[in-house]
Chain A
């Protein structure tokens, strides 16, 4: 077991997975919120842009998006996201391109999560708020948005869990995260494959199970009782 950890640098692979998750989560939260604003806006053409973005990127496999980041963005268009003189250029560049791909893909799910949060609010809530004399801004601030955020917590949490697992796709363009360990072990030392799978699998269970429990717990605490 210890040789597995020393031979394949599992700790740094785990750290890469965590970094991929965190950066992509921040990125997709920002981009997804922008797309959600487009999709929820009162302006028809903006809604069309938002809907198109979601339809295009949610129906495309993540593998294809991440491959495009490497083969089109970097190799064909020469967009490099790291210092090309640096020694670890290839690794850093692939890592950042993977973040771009994960962000673009998961932004659609963030958008849909936020939208579903808004969609759970009955129309009567806004009507009641306006009819007791709150202004538009007040009804947004005091009535609509708080309920929308609460409704979006669970779907956003589920998106985060999915994102954590989807970071494994980054191995497609050679990012050294957890599933890359499994790939290397398969090639070099098939004898330790079971052990490697067990270790990597346990890491993912450790990462995602607490997230799932936390999402369920927080979701219940903030749920709007109707």
Chain B
């Protein structure tokens, strides 16, 4: 075991105590799991007829795979559109304020203030609320079916996630040394060019792991589309359980699909982070040196954003 800040390396006594604690912990967990399994078995949730449909192609072709497709389409659209909008919002928030003497001072100040307020408000409003609102507006205009649910789902996701991506990028720029901006301005780039050509590429690279983790949030949040009748995994698969009441089995399978997708994304994010750290170490830029000294991250992981180390 690697050195831990919480515990000393165990001696013989501590090892014995750890063993006892481990056994007690196992017993408690086994009791909880056992109770759950016993309860499920008691209600016949493990009966073979409830699980048999999952071995047939029709269930997958008619229910689960179309739902998975819906989930992935919504997630992909939401990610691409939010990335574009998030980038634009970030550029607007990052532009250097012109001096007070120049005529552009107050217009730029107004834009920055408006964008800031927009980002704060869209981050504060729950995604589901946004989806329900867009869906309500669409169905009032006779677009409740067809593409309406998709638009509502993606729209809700975009409003929220573009603001989050903007803030992640901004935090990334905040971590860059001040000299980067100054150097950009000094070689004659305009304020906008400095942000676009110098700051953003570095910030996006540095924050890549956080941005990839945000992908997990997007994939999970497509499930909110259930409430606006969008054909994602849950909504499409649930009718398949109407006949033999195997909703438990269905939810287990769907959860497994979600866990597999999201776990893969989180491992990918970890891999990217590892790669970036190695690069920092070998190429030896002092610029990267202070990004990983700990201390609370400047990014607020809103709505269960990238947590975990």
Contacts and interface: CB of A to CB of B under 8 A. Distances in A.
B35 to A, nearest CB: 11
A60 B126 contact: no
Contacts of A42: 1, 4, 6-7, 10, 14, 18
Contacts of A55: 259, 263
A141 interface: no
Nearest to A225: B295
Contacts of A120: 294-296
Nearest to A110: B307
Contacts of B303: 161-162, 165-166
Contact of B251 (A67, A169, A215): A67
A32 B307 CA distance: 14
Contacts of A201: 121, 125, 129
Determine the main DSSP class of A at the interface with B.
helix
Contacts of B224: 61, 63, 169
Contact of B128 (A118, A151, A171): A171
A119 B183 CA distance: 35
A107 B18 CA distance: 25
Most buried by A among B5, B19, B43, B295: B5
Contacts of B301: 155, 158, 162
B160 to A, nearest CB: 9
A178 interface: yes
Interface string B119-140: 0110011111100110111011
B186 interface: no
Contacts of B6: 40, 42, 118, 126, 140, 144
B126 A190 contact: no
B302 A161 contact: yes
Interface string B221-255: 11110110000001000000000010110010011
A58 to B, nearest CB: 8
A77 B234 contact: no
A49 B29 contact: yes
Given A60-B259, A118-B5, A122-B294, A178 B129 contact: yes
A44 B227 CA distance: 41
B133 A43 contact: no
Contact of A186 (B25, B135, B304): B135
- By size class, the interface of chain B is 35 or more
A16 interface: no
B302 A123 contact: no
B124 A168 contact: no
B21 interface: yes
A212 B120 CA distance: 10
Interface of A: 38, 40-46, 49, 54-56, 58-64, 67-68, 71-72, 75-78, 106, 109, 112-113, 115-116, 118-123, 125-126, 130, 136, 140, 144, 151, 154-155, 158-159, 161-162, 165-166, 168-169, 171-172, 178-179, 182-183, 185-186, 190, 193, 197, 200-201, 204-205, 208-209, 212, 215, 219, 223, 226
21 contacts: A42-B1, A42-B4, A59-B216, A59-B262, A68-B248, A71-B251, A76-B247, A106-B304, A116-B309, A126-B6, A144-B6, A159-B304, A161-B300, A162-B302, A165-B127, A166-B126, A169-B224, A171-B128, A179-B128, A179-B132, A209-B120
Given A56-B255, A76-B45, A182-B136, 17 more contacts: A41-B21, A43-B25, A59-B258, A60-B259, A62-B220, A76-B247, A77-B45, A118-B6, A155-B301, A161-B303, A162-B301, A165-B126, A166-B126, A179-B128, A193-B137, A205-B121, A212-B124
